[in-house]
Chains A and B, each alone.
Chain A
């Protein structure tokens, strides 16, 4: 399971990186080259976003990526084919990331089977709160898949505890209010929030939303176990190309590992 994998990795480096890509954007070929870069850089975890027509938790960059991927013919079957291929080629664990409706339409059991067959290790569903997730989560657990749940800085103590009880693999802590993609000012309040989350769970803690620089990583060390990077990567891929992308990942990985 993911928890053991993460904890083992943490014995050799203080902070792991999880990277993200929207499958089908800019194209499956681009996605594949991104994964090759992630592999070269030594990234620990990768989330593959299944595009959805109503991505309410995403900011402008990913909204566009979701939309264009769908326009270019991305669909569920192609998504799982891509994951299967990626899982054969790369060693890092792959996570499903997306919205609930495609999962709901497929059906909980069929979704878990498809994910398992494609080699996925768990899922992050942006609009499925824990109180609606239990049937899916139980099924997933029985198949050895980890449902990743999100904690946020607006949550009450009682709610954080409820999330902790449902969590598996690791806990995804959202760094701030808002949607993906805008800059987060990492300060003492984020550290305090991470400590609050840490007290409620023995699972590893990941922090995402607006993480971008090596300074961000330096600040997170000792407070988070995984730094989750999404929009920043896609920005570099689109504006500066593959070489810059690999350089960026390598730089970030070096900063995380030392």
Chain B
């Protein structure tokens, strides 16, 4: 039997370890060389050991809500004339797909015998998930978070601290996700003997893109079986939002060899012509580069300096994109597109009102794109959206975007009480 495209991701030509086409690799300070090699070795061993995967699936079944269900959006489907399904990653423990990767790496850390974990976080979901994992496994935990994101996502900071993590507010650079990654790498360069860096997405140096894809592939494996059981056929198209790209990698990995259109939806921000977005592939402001340990499309200037990005959702507001996704774009396997902040807010409201499901702003990008494209689809098509997370965390941002007067009044009163 020939190997699947997913299995082939794990095979590298000699001297090209960690590369997918021209993307990926491990461009790291030499001090981290042995640490990264050790991690690549440990991951390689674990990924060949079926009991490791079985332990992982078992853990996710008892600790999170796996397999997460698929919901048919009956009202939306009627309204738009296509059958819209959601893979409910929002029902995971801690509220998003992030916990999959984190618990998997937690098991790997135990195998490697390390005692401390560090992580970067943008929206805060990965930070909360990592702090949760650390509490459960008994690891010390430090989370790096851009100061701007600390402001945007205060509730998540609160929960990380409650879970016993130390949260470091990063004041360097643009004070967002990319700067949190730099800070975590700097910590790791000094502490690697007992510390594992739990990178939250399919980016960074090899083996992270592959390893995170491996853990997140549980989404695609489940979804494929579920759709076959539910519908007796595969969906026509699958939509997922793409920041770094971990939820998209997870769901797409189950369908790489199928006749299913895969659509990655990036953050269109204020519009692709505004220079205020985070659309690395769908936009025109990115080109191949090397930063943060890997090669991919980065939003950068002519000299190779990274530029500021913008998105209404902290989780998509990132300069780079997973190298496996960049490669699958080049091969034509994944189509990339973008949804703007305004389209996302509209889609958010529609899903909440029509289906009673509160999506994260990140996941709302995928929903927005489906609603935009529904007119051009054939009636009766099956559309699967990876609903990567729930929207509770976004209450401040969304209430502000919706200009909710009662919420503003509530905040004013709370601030008054606190003073």
Contacts and interface: CB of A to CB of B under 8 A. Distances in A.
B138 interface: no
Interface stretch (B178-186, B231-239, B272-280, B379-387): B178-186
B5 interface: no
Interface stretch (A34-42, A98-106, A189-197, A224-232): A98-106
B28 A129 contact: yes
29 contacts: A53-B173, A53-B306, A54-B178, A54-B306, A56-B182, A56-B185, A56-B293, A57-B31, A58-B186, A63-B173, A70-B305, A99-B291, A100-B290, A101-B289, A101-B304, A104-B289, A104-B290, A105-B289, A105-B303, A127-B28, A127-B29, A151-B30, A154-B192, A155-B34, A174-B30, A177-B31, A177-B189, A177-B191, A178-B190
A152 B25 contact: no
B15 interface: yes
A17 interface: no
B27 interface: yes
Closest 6 CB pairs of A and B: A178-B190, A105-B304, A101-B304, A102-B304, A57-B29, A53-B306
Interface of B: 15, 25-35, 172-173, 178, 182, 185-186, 189-193, 287, 289-293, 298, 300, 302-306
Contacts of A55: 182
A129 B27 contact: yes
B170 to A, nearest CB: 10
Interface of A: 52-60, 63-64, 67, 70, 75-76, 99-106, 126-129, 131-132, 149-152, 154-156, 159, 163, 174, 177-179
A229 B290 CA distance: 27
B173 A159 contact: no
A173 to B, nearest CB: 10
A220 B305 CA distance: 37
A152 B292 contact: no
B30 A163 contact: yes
Contact of B30 (A63, A67, A150): A150
Given A52-B305, A54-B173, A179-B186, A101 B31 contact: no
A127 B193 CA distance: 20
A25 B233 CA distance: 61
Given A54-B182, A60-B172, A102-B304, 13 more contacts: A53-B306, A56-B189, A57-B29, A58-B186, A64-B172, A75-B303, A127-B293, A129-B33, A131-B15, A155-B34, A163-B30, A177-B189, A177-B192
A56 B180 CA distance: 11
Given A70-B305, A178-B190, A101 B300 contact: yes
